[in-house]
Amino acid sequence: MPVGSEILQELAFNLRSAWNHRADELWAEIDPELWRETGNAWLVVQSAPRTRLRELWDTPRFREKAEALYEARRRALSGSTWFAECCAGCGLGTVAFFSMEYALSEALPIYSGGLGNVAGDYLKAASDLGVPIVGVGLLYQQGFFRQTIDASGAQREFRPFNDVSQLPVAPVRGEDGALVRVRLPRAGPPVWLRAWQAQVGRVALYLLDSNDPANAPADRGITAELYGGGPETRLLQEMALGIGGWRLLRALGVAPDVCHLNEGHATLAAVERARAFMIERGCPFETAVVATRAGNVFTTHTPVEAGFDRFPPELVDAYLGSYVREELRVSLDAFLALGRANADDAGEALNMAWLATRLSGAINAVSARHEQVSRRIFQVLFPRWPEAELPLGHVTNGVHVPSWDSAEADALWTRACGSDRWEGTMEDIQPKFGAASDEELWTFRAAARRNLVTFVRERLTRQLAAAGITGARLEAAGGVLDPDALTLGFARRFTAYKRPALLLHDAERFRRLLRDTARPVQIIVAGKAHPRDEEGKQFVQDWVRFVRGEDVRARAVFLADYDLRLAEHLVQGIDVWVNTPRPPWEACGTSGMKVLVNGGMNLSTRDGWWAEAYRPDVGWILEDARDDAADAAELYDVLERDVVPSFYDRDAHGIPLAWVARMRASMRTLTPHYSANRSLREYTERYYIPLAKSVALRRDAAAASRLASWVATVAQHWSSLRFGDIRVTTERGEHRFEVSAYLDDVDPESVNVELYADGREPTTMGRAAPLVGARGFLYVANVPDTRPASDYTPRLVARHPDLAIPLELPTIAWAR
């Protein structure tokens, strides 16, 4: 075992400390102020004088605790896992996960919002479950912007520089000890990307940045800001993530079976994967695409087509043109066609979502409702296919529960369900958690609320003092909120579709709720607007001005600079998490999932994850949106009629029995289901393992070439396929269809003739006999006469046992 500062450095460097808080006492003892302000264990250890560390290490209590934590972590990270036990022999080697942002810890501020939260929680769950995942992202010099509120209530933004020496990352070195650098393909001067590694429990996260001294000044700024700059910067960032990321993995000897594209930003990883196959196997790019796309899964988080990244042809030519022509060895038009809805439209931009779709073996949305929305969006790529048959599924997002539970929640769940409850299949959680008593649950919630109020008072006092507020108003901040009052929370990105000002639509009615002395309600609000979103900034200002009102100041608080640390405190103490997106714009949303483990409940619209999670016994819902005025009225009604009475109607022991019953149902049923544990197991079983098997069949260049040739042949002749006579007879409770189909030069084994009726599984027709004097066949099928024969339409679809139809070949022909 290492000794002294080596143990502390190893404990602090691994971001497992972001969710396993057993070492928090160590960091607080080294430097309590720095730990309280930053939550960055690595910074605490690196900043401490060596004399201080030696002094603490010479203290038996400190040393014994550090050694015990080190040994416990070693055992935890080397022990058996769900993947090792349940997926042995499945053929899945490594999954490479590409994302533009990761929200892992406030110690590594390279995130912005929901996409980063999902990605960070995903890597943490991979560590818990032992799924063989490696993460790839970018290390931004200025990542997550910080927010302050000025005297007028307006948002102000600052982007502190990320000093890499203070971040829990280490430079990546090759076997010879040299720093690993990756060259980005681009005409003109070379662009070098440096490589860094963060450790997330068992999982390695590799991060690239362009701040290499060998680069031109402008190129050093490619990774300066997360989502910063214009289209040129965005395209260069996506080149760094996708092309640079895949090249880094290959340089490190990592050969992933599956490539997971977390949004369209990562699509160029699939392009580079195909290029690598093409060079290794000496085949054309078209063959390499067929060979590799079976191992790619594309997750879309976007609920509107306008949200997809698009790049005009001239911009693609400027930055990717030489790469396409010289390294992919295809024309720019051929490449652009892969990312266009209309391949023949020379003016159409390159759509990264369309490109990802054509380079993937599976596509998924992030909630059941988002799947429905996405089917309408992606319909353009599958013309004439019924919406219900588009090759798109969903895996509803989940949160990494140990990252979001309070110490008290952790103790409660441990007593009920054991310490390893989030690291397996979670099958026994619901029955075990049911044993917790009403008194235990209510006592736990009351303590959580008190802790939150204490935190808010301290944070608000510091926030006002930093803004130059003095006197009575600053002093009053130390007494805001009531530890026993019903506490609402609203915290998220401030943008129009989330309707952050809906609660203020009838401000006077809301004030009456807050000022009720018999059954008081209070609210804590937090959130940032994008620096270029003026409407979002106005929402921030509206809330700040509202909470400054003399009559609600003690019952309403706006906390600035919403980040992971603030979110953690809020979700641990809030009673009701309020969410007001305008359906169907919320792809999933995960903030409300984070309150579940802590006994908080949700009040939201029928959108995102809540559309599938809601039941009357686990929370409250606003029905499908009409207009803001009607939705605001319904929101006030639900609060006044249902939420507030349920919270304050108590038994003789002071326990709100109806409230606790709903809280128990929410905790025991929703917490495990909306966890990253469940979502990652779904990805593994439904996508990763099947895709690994599919792509293994195409690793041979000859096999891939045969598949590519088959696709090209069928596509070339498809327009010549047609139907002839259609005869229908009805007797003995069945319709008998006899259909003539002319197949031109297409092998009949490459085609299915089906009967389609809306709402029914297609019926495959049998090939009966060849047509005389023609290249075609008679096809027959019997179907029940429970529906009129006119409901059924014959159609032709391509068929191949090793290809995903229609994802890899969306050809279809209808009889009418």
Instruction: Determine the residue type at 710.
Output: W
pLDDT of residue 754: 97
Q: Give 693's pLDDT tier (boundaries 50, 70, 90).
A: very high
C-alpha–C-alpha distance, residues 476 and 471, integer Å: 9
Rg (CA), the chain: 29
pLDDT (0 to 100) of residue 151: 84
Could you tell me the domains of the chain?
5-78 (no CATH), 91-397+684-696 (3.40.50.2000), 436-674 (3.40.50.2000), 706-814 (2.60.40)
Instruction: Determine the 3-state secondary structure of 199 from DSSP.
Output: strand
pTM, full prediction: 0.96
Partners of 736 in the β-ladder:
729, 782
Kind plus residue range of the DSSP H or E element containing 195: strand 191-200
Q: What is the pLDDT of residue 434?
A: 82
Average pLDDT over residues 24-36: 93
Cβ atoms within 10 Å, residue 772: 7
- Main-chain phi, psi angles of 119, to 5 degrees: -65, -40
pLDDT at position 478, please? 92
Measured CA to CA, the distance from residue 132 to residue 135 in angstroms comes to: 10
Q: What angle do CA 253, 254, 255 make, to 5 degrees?
A: 110
Q: Which two tokens stand for residue 643?
A: 């939420």
Contacts of 191 (CB under 8 A, 6+ apart): 183, 184, 210, 215, 219, 222, 236
Cβ count within 10 A of residue 473: 11
DSSP 347-389: T--EEHHHHHHHT-SEEEESSHHHHHHHHHHHGGGSTTS-GGG
**CA distances (Å), 213 to each of 5, 243, 319, in order?**
31, 21, 21
Q: Give me the helices (H) in 381-493, please.
A: 401-404, 407-417, 429-433, 438-466, 472-476
pLDDT digits (tens, 9 = 90+) for 427-463: 999 999 988 899 999 999 999 999 999 999 999 999 9
| Residue 1 confidence (pLDDT) above 50 | no
From 483, 479, 485, select the one nearest 521 (Cα to Cα): 485
* Per-residue model confidence (pLDDT) at position 436: 87
**What pLDDT is recorded for position 186?**
87
Instruction: Compute the distance between CA of residue 148 and CA of residue 686 in angstroms, rounded to an integer.
Output: 44
CA distance 324 to 334: 9
Yes or no: say if 270 and 292 are a contact pair by the CB < 8 Å rule: yes
Q: Are the C-beta atoms of residues 796 and 740 closer than 8 Å to each other?
A: no
| Cα dist from 741 to 297, 725, 811, whole Å | 35, 8, 16
686 DSSP assignment: I
Taking residue 613's Cβ as centre, other Cβ atoms within 10 Å add up to 23
Amino acid residing at 589:
G
- Tens-digit pLDDT profile for residues 54-67: 999 999 999 999 99
Helix H segments across 79-113? Answer: 82-86
Cα dist. 201→108, 127, 131, 211 in Å? 15, 5, 12, 27
pLDDT tens sequence across 466-482: 888 888 888 889 999 99
To the nearest whole number, what is the mean pLDDT of the chain?
94
For residue 47, what is the enclosing H or E element? helix 41-47
d(C-alpha 112, C-alpha 549), whole Å? 30
Give percent of the chain with pLDDT exceeding 90: 88
List, for residues 93-116, the tens digit of each pLDDT value: 999 999 999 999 999 999 988 899
Taking phi over 0 as left and psi of -120 to 50 as alpha, with beta for the rest, 815 belongs to alpha
- What is the reported pLDDT for 2? 62
Exposure pattern of 658-673 as b/e (b: 16+ CB <10 Å)? bbbebbbbbbbbbbbb
| Backbone dihedral angles phi then psi of residue 756, each to the nearest 5 degrees | -115, 135
**How far is the CA of 637 from the CAs of 208, 509, 666, 785, in angstroms?**
50, 10, 22, 49
In this structure, how many other beta carbons lie within 10 angstroms of the beta carbon of residue 2? 11
Which of the 8 DSSP states describes residue 434? T
Long-range contacts of the stretch 649-653 (C-beta < 8 A, 24+): 653/439
The DSSP call for residue 187 is S
Residue 108 has φ and ψ, to the nearest 5°, of -130, 80
Element (H, E) at 275: helix 268-281
Q: What is the pLDDT of residues 506-516, one digit of tens each?
A: 999 999 999 99
Residue 3: is its pLDDT beyond 70?
no
Inform me whether the pLDDT recorded for 367 exceeds 80.
Answer: yes
Q: Cα–Cα distance between 28 and 760 in angstroms, integer? A: 62
Residues listed for the chain: 816
Distance CA 557, CA 490 (A): 10
Structure confidence at residue 749 (pLDDT): 94
Q: Percent of the chain having pLDDT more than 70? A: 99
Nearest to 276 by CA among 256, 302, 300: 256
- Three-class secondary structure of residue 98 per DSSP: strand
Residues linked to residue 250 through DSSP beta bridges, in sequence order: none
The answer to whether 11 touches 41, Cβ cutoff 8 Å, is: yes
